[in-house]
Chain A
Amino acid sequence: MLCTTIREIVTGAAERFGDGDAIRWKIGKDEIETRSYRQLREDSERFSAALDALGELGSHVALTGPTSYRWIVTYLGTVGCGSVAVPLDVSLPAQEMCELLDRADATVFVYDEQRADVAAMARERCPKLRYLISMQKEEPEDGAEAFDRLLDAQKPGFERVVDPDALCTIMFTSGTTGKSKGVMLTQRNLAENATCLDMRIPERTVLLSVLPIHHAYCLSMDILKGISLGSIICINDSLLRVAKNIKLFKPNVILMVPLMIETLAKKLEEAAMLPAAIVKAKVFGGQFHTIFSGGAYLNPAYIDLFEKYGITILQGYGMTECSPVISTNLSWCVRKESVGKLMPNCEAKTVDGELWVRGSSVMMGYYHMPEETEETLRDGWLATGDLGYVDEEGYVFLTGRKKNLIITKNGENVSPEELENKLGEQRLIREVLVRENEGVIEAEIFPDADYVKKKRITDVQAALQKIIDEYNQGAPAYKKIYRLKVRETEFEKTPSKKIKRY
């Protein structure tokens, strides 16, 4: 069912799934706490009413914390009454978080006590803030309101007509370069992204949410799409405990980034001697069947590996600016080399090699950044910055990032990702970055220490050079790698675990 506002998703689910579990999370060791779809709707409405009582309807409400029921209620309650939610990365340094609070014009800040330090600093440095709300405090204290107290004082049933095309969420993108930008998304942007495609996921599917909730991918797919399908959304409390939580919550589906898939692949390979069904049951449980992958490039070899264990990996593609999903593979039509079929609410074209998309999920623009908005949105089209094309059947193929493009002296264009992905298939190479340096193409490599020891490689530099030489033999002159640098440490990453390029 296509929804145009987020409130419609929540009320629809409450009507259909009522007392069925919506959210599950762990309290103490093996104890699980739950809230139903009815409670989720009522608590969200109470939060809306609390904003009204504070005189903050329509305000910008920033929120930060690890994934939690209160986080979800804050978000749904904020956007449910036409206010604007600003989800912030819980791992940001306090100073940076205060800057974003200020840049987003937030007047309310809802925080997890894990970040009491930010609340303390914000009190001094963010003059626009009128209310601080602690998710855990039982009583108002130190100028902060207590979340539960505010909700207890309100009745559910708060209603307000919400314009589908009004701003509802500002999400800051971390980006591999430059200052973070506040992506402005409307109700329709997010609601249609979550509901326009029938992925044939059965109602009441159990999903485990492991990604950071301030990311568009997690918020849209785990939470909004999850709610629209009446899923049982289980909260993973820490990346330390994914394996344990899989055993506890017994999910059918998990949304992941490629880094996680790689670690799990090792676990599967370790036990490769045992029958596939036993290994799968041990690592994931017999009920598990699907991994959605997004956020970065996934080596297609993993899709084959997991298939052996009866697990389907569906790779998708998107960006926050498109709320975020642009294309996805579907269980009944997987193309390994493609990032999937275009979403039904999205059309695409290629301009100078770059993929442009248009549709109901494309953002309004960047908050208070007219120049950057103009560069990215052109006549209603979103210039994705990705190099790629769509084939006749609607499958999207990506070849690299436009801004990373290397333009050689003779005018040839080389996409470093293409070379990186090719080299990255070698087991000896853990991480690789390809760039131009002093007029030639250079590869910087962080070798896989594990593999070096296993194969008893004594001269890593020479072994890597051999890989480069072999690659060069089959490559056209302008794509040849002329210089090799070996690193001793992992590359520095962005908060979303992508290698920082500059």
Chain B
Amino acid sequence: MFEKLKEIILKYVEVKEEAVTPEARFMEDLGFTSFDFMSMLGEIEDEFDVEIDEQEAANIRTVGEAVEYLEKLANG
């Protein structure tokens, strides 16, 4: 899950692979804008075949939290 997510993140922001750690924050560390972040979640929906709730997604701050959220979704 983490590796796949990392791949998608790297399409949205130009950071080194090492920068994408579970602790990295999307906005502050990786340089996402709020609309970038929304667009990426849209792509993740397709990639992982899940449905993301906009309100719940708004609470995600770090890469680790996103992985946790997606794993929860994938396991139903």
Complex: chain B residue closest to A257, CB-CB: B35
Among the interface residues A259, A449, A488, which one has the most CB atoms of the partner chain B within 10 A?
A449
**Once bound together, how far apart are the Cα atoms of A310 and B30, in whole Å?**
31
A-B contact count (CB 8 A): 67
Q: Known contacts A239-B35, A244-B42, A244-B46; is A450 also within 8 Å of B13 by CB?
A: yes
**Told that A244-B45, A449-B28, A454-B15 touch, could you supply 17 new A-B pairs with CB distance under 8 A?**
A238-B54, A240-B57, A242-B38, A242-B39, A243-B39, A262-B33, A263-B35, A263-B39, A266-B12, A430-B31, A430-B33, A449-B15, A449-B30, A450-B13, A450-B30, A488-B28, A490-B28
Q: Which residues of B contact A262 (CB under 8 A)?
A: 33, 35
Report which of B34, B42, B45 forms a contact with A242, defined as CB distance below 8 A: B42
Q: Is the CB of B34 within 8 A of A259?
A: yes
Q: Which residues of B contact A260 (CB under 8 A)?
A: 35
**Nearest 10 CB-CB pairs, A to B?**
A450-B31, A449-B31, A240-B42, A239-B38, A263-B35, A453-B15, A454-B14, A241-B42, A450-B13, A240-B41
Whole-angstrom distance from the CB of B20 to the nearest CB of chain A?
11
**Once bound together, how far apart are the Cα atoms of A123 and B33, in whole Å?**
38
Among the interface residues A244, A450, A489, A490, which one has the most CB atoms of the partner chain B within 10 A?
A450
- 8 A Cβ contacts from B1-40 to A: 11-16, 19, 27-31, 33-36, 38-39
User: Counting CB contacts under 8 A, is B43 at the interface?
Assistant: yes
**Once bound together, how far apart are the Cα atoms of A266 and B31, in whole Å?**
12
**Once bound together, how far apart are the Cα atoms of A274 and B45, in whole Å?**
26
| Interface residue ranges, B against A (CB under 8 Å) | 11-16, 19, 27-31, 33-36, 38-39, 41-43, 45-46, 52, 54, 57
Complex: chain B residue closest to A241, CB-CB: B42
Q: Which secondary structure dominates where chain B touches chain A? A: helix
Q: Is the CB of A240 within 8 A of B52?
A: yes
Q: Is the CB of B19 within 8 A of A240?
A: no
Whole-angstrom distance from the CB of A89 to the nearest CB of chain B?
15
- Contact string, A285-325, partner B, CB cutoff 8 A, digits 1/0? 00000000000000000000000000000000000000000
A-B contact pairs, 17 of them (CB 8 A): A240-B38, A240-B39, A240-B42, A240-B45, A244-B42, A244-B46, A263-B39, A266-B12, A430-B31, A449-B15, A449-B28, A449-B30, A450-B13, A450-B15, A453-B15, A454-B14, A490-B27
Whole-angstrom distance from the CB of A162 to the nearest CB of chain B?
37
User: Counting CB contacts under 8 A, is A436 at the interface?
Assistant: no
User: Counting CB contacts under 8 A, is A482 at the interface?
Assistant: no
Complex: chain B residue closest to A91, CB-CB: B55
Q: Which residues of B contact A452 (CB under 8 A)?
A: 31
Q: Which residues of A contact B27 (CB under 8 A)?
A: 489-490
Q: Which residues of A contact B11 (CB under 8 A)?
A: 270
**Once bound together, how far apart are the Cα atoms of A497 and B35, in whole Å?**
11
Complex: chain A residue closest to B45, CB-CB: A240
User: Counting CB contacts under 8 A, is A448 at the interface?
Assistant: yes
